[in-house]
A = this chain, B = another copy of it.
Amino acid sequence: MTRMARRRILTREGIVAAGVAVADRSGIEGVSMRSVGKELGVEGMSLYHHVTNKDDLLDALAAWVFEQIELPPADAEWRSAMERRAQSARLVLRAHPWAIGMLESRPTPSLALLRHHDRVLGWLFDAGFSAASATHAFSAVDAFVYGFALSESTLPFQTEEGTEADFADAVAPDPAEYPNLARSLSDLLGAGSYSYADEFDVGLTFILDSVERSLTA
């Protein structure tokens, strides 16, 4: 309609950026060839000149999110590096929750993913981990990070907003039927400062403490 919509520039990068914008706004199910096209002022069918199909576009979205994760330098100390990477991954997945479950899913891993994994293993090898124990540490931390992001994204309340108390009021489990749930909620929220977000650091520390112990043992 408007003369602005006429652009000669339709690139893969631009399409990915538009896809991220649509997904952030309407979730992954809101991403269609037509909706991403509209975001760029173009028909959905035009995208097929730059991406193979929708699956290719989703691959590109997953790779984009993965590249947002901060990766400490190769010579970093293993534990703080694992921590920084985990914290960054969690923030990225909280900002783009539609990406959880896409990250490692695609059959052809992106080059960024291979580089990323190689560096993580590097930290651990430098610290004296064997291949087996490095894999143990890596697998446990990643499963926890992804799972936490998954739990956080599907939680009925939003973290980081102090609405846990509102949530408790809304749910209010019958103490006769669910005594432990009721006790847990009243203890945690009665204390006044509970935040589910803190569970991330606790869980990560559980894992890294055991990993560290297994190294020095």
Known: A180-B122, A183-B125. A140 touches B206 (CB 8 A): yes
Within 8 A of B (CB), among A135-164: 135-136, 139-140, 142-148, 150-151, 154-156
**Contact status B136-A202, CB under 8 Å:** yes
Is A112 part of the binding interface, using a Cβ–Cβ cutoff of 8 Å? Answer: no
| Least CB separation from A119: chain B residue | B180
Q: Is A100 an interface residue (CB 8 A)?
A: yes
The segment from A6-14, A30-38, A207-215 found at the interface with B is: A207-215
Size category of the binding interface on chain A: 35 or more
When distances are taken between beta carbons in the complex, the residues of chain B under 8 Å from A125 are: 180, 183
A73 within 8 A of B: no
Nearest chain B CB to A92 CB, angstrom units: 15
A143 to B199: give the CA distance in the assembly, Å. Answer: 10
Apart from A132-B191, A140-B203, what are 13 other A-B pairs with CB-CB below 8 Å? A101-B154, A118-B173, A131-B187, A135-B188, A136-B203, A139-B151, A140-B202, A143-B151, A144-B144, A145-B147, A147-B150, A205-B210, A207-B207
